[in-house]
Amino acid sequence: MSRCLFGNAAHGVDYDNIPTAVFSQPELATVGLTEASARARFDQIKVYKTRFTPLKYTLSGRDERAFLKLIVAAPSDRVAGAHMVGPEAAEVIQGIAIALKAGATKAVFDATLGIHPTLAEEFVTLRRLQA
Catalytic residue list contains 83: no
CA distance 20 to 55: 26
Largest CA distance in the chain: 54
Residue 87 preceded by cis peptide, ω within 30: no
Over the Cα atoms of the chain, what is R_g? 16
Active-site entry in 7, 11, 116, 131: 116
Q: What angle do CA 115, 129, 78 make, to 5 degrees?
A: 70
User: How far from the centroid of its chain's Cα atoms is residue 89's Cα?
Assistant: 9
User: How far from the centroid of its chain's Cα atoms is residue 111's Cα?
Assistant: 16
Q: Which residues are catalytic?
A: 116
